[in-house]
Structure 1
Amino acid sequence: MTYQLLHLEDNSNDAELVRSCLDGSAIRCKIALVTNQADYLQVLTEKPPDLVISDFHLRCFDGMQAFQLLQECNPTIPFILLSGALGENHAVECLRIGMTDFILKHHLERLPPLVERALREVYERRERITAQAALLERNQEIEDLNKRLQRSIWESQHRIKNNLQILNGLVDAMQTDKVPGSPQSLERLASHIRGLATLHDVLTYQTNTPGASLDRLSARLALERLIPAMANVLAPRTLALDADDVELTVKQITSLSLIVNELVSNALKHGEGAITISLKQEGTSLVLDVCNDGPGFPPGFDPQKSANIGLELIESIGTFDLAGTLLYENTAMGARVRLRFPVAA
């Protein structure tokens, strides 16, 4: 390693003696020589050295002032004072105010070991500072991870509680079904359980991903993960998804997954052919379309009058949970259910 030394000396002969003394040592260094206060300050501020060597007596300037200026600029840089004749009182004062050391010019043989020791101390001090900074950074990372873990645990508990409440509501609704406990009702419940489990897996993965949001999730990602969970009930029907990559709150994602699951179940039961899911953003709203081939809705269809457990769930989630509006309509190919709801801020 090559060190940068700043030498303050206005006597060219003395400056050459110091250079020769250090050149003949094992210290690898580059010496910047300055002769006045202005140049000295410029080097201190623009290219701070690893060590300063200063003569005691200078024209219109002295070593004590040079040390004071160094303290103001960077007190961590070591300072060695050179003097032709330094009295004992001055020597004691130099050490008292914090100079690294002083040397009489007729004892320059002491300079290399003093410089080597001072540079070693600087290196060790910088290493300690670097290690302390790294330790503080690591401790901060651990603290952040602990906070994230605590929040993740709370979020997971909250989601599990919400999902259990949803399942409890589905079970309660089944009790009022015309054929409680029928295979269709049980399959509907099983389908929602699979959907909620899939969503929980996605949320858990995101929770464990550093930097990922704990409050919002990509709607497209959630639907892409939901579709494979329906594979066992889809065959031989097919399902296509076209969704914008919009982030929604966890609550909205849960509600969206439930209503899509229910709409697909109804399309499988009452429709034919391919099923398509479209989720598009229009301004501050999202428009969900679930379409299927087939005969479509019967003339005069009224979801309120035709209410069953599936439609009641769709109406409840779409109207209350997502604060949206539902439209049931026929297309040239079959039936379409459209849900428009606001994107939560």
Structure 2
Amino acid sequence: MHLLHLEDNPADHELVRRCLVRAEFEVRLTLVETMADFESALRQGEADAVLADYHLAGFCGMQAWDWLQQQGLELPFLIVSGAIGEATVADALLRGVSDYVDKNRLARLPTALQRALELHASRRTQAQAQAELAESRRRLVDLTEHLQLGLERERADIAREIHDDIGGALAALKLDLAWLGRHLPQPEAQAHVRAALEMAEHALLASQRLMRNLRPAVLDQGLEPALQWLVRTFAERTGLALRLEGGLRLPVEPQLAMVVYRTAQEALTNVLKHAQARSVRLELSDLEGVLTLEVSDDGCGASAADLAKLQSFGLLGLRERAQGAGGWLDVATAPGQGMTLILSLPLNGTKAADWE
């Protein structure tokens, strides 16, 4: 272990060295007497800790501590000095110094040094764990964004296949059935043809509905028209009272539009499944450089415990989608007071993702 000892009295330096030797510390204790020597020693090699006198010739030991902070160096730093007063000691400790040891009580130095080294090691371990956690979180966000990108591409591919293959085949089938209806004189055959035409029309409408859900073509007209279409069709299908308020002043990039649309779609699905609501209000805005979607219902709401349940993976997915686009998702709810979901996406500096 290498210790730097900032001290201008060689006799005191020797006393400190002997104290550490008696405590069976295996250390290399380097004496530095000036601020310049102190800075030079730290630039040239690593140190495990610093012992510093408070009163030095022409400067104060706390200046060494301030320099360490300015350089971003994190080292155990102990003041080993004569009596300096309780107020001075308290100020030094508040500024982050590890400990203070009175030169007249050097027997306490090994214990104080050991404690400072252990605390420093613990902080480094914690900082490393936090850095690893942050990196893991970043990778998770990147993975989620990648999966969402792949999912949207698959949806677009499936929608095109439905349109090109199934939709085309059903349209051709309707033409053939119509031709048969015109050329078959038997009433019984005509009835079968009409039934087949109705089934083909039903299948064609179902394929069109699937295509719109997979990749809403209305999004090509803009986010507002897409949300208006979603609100109208959802209200027709479920009987809920829905209204869309607010509006946008500027066009929205396709990737952000898709995030907002999918969030609204998922939020409405959650309302239908869990909220027991009668009405839902959606509000859209792009004020102050933030694209915001707010979805509020008058349903049963949820407690904190309810949100923490595994069934709330839908909300977790929405949060991951928002974070992947550089934004965030907030949920405000209470039992019996409905739920409000707020999606916020910065319009500048957003992470790009090609959802097309």
Shorter-chain-normalised TM-score: which range?
0.3 to 0.5
Report which of the two has the higher share of strand: 1
Report which of the two has the higher share of helix: 2
Which protein is bigger by CA-based radius of gyration? 1
TM-score, length basis structure 2: 0.44
